[in-house]
Amino acid sequence: MNTNQRENIALITGASNGIGLELTRKLLSEGWQVVALNRSDFPADDMRIQKAINSGSLRIYKIADLAD
Tell me the per-residue pLDDT of 13-46, one tens digit each, with 9 for 90 and over.
999 999 999 999 999 999 999 999 998 999 999 9
- Domain containing 15 equals 9-62
Side chain identity at residue 9, one-letter code = I
Residue 30 lies in a domain: yes
Q: How confident is the model at residue 65 (pLDDT cuts 50, 70, 90)?
A: low
Helix-strand-coil split of the chain, %, nearest 5: 30, 25, 45
- If one counts the domains in the chain, the total is 1
- pTM value? 0.82
Residue 50 lies in a domain: yes
pLDDT of 13 reads: 93
Residue 56 lies in a domain: yes
Average pLDDT, stretch 53-61? 96
pLDDT of 7 reads: 85
Residue 67 lies in a domain: no
Residue 25 lies in a domain: yes
The answer on pLDDT for 1 being more than 50 is: no
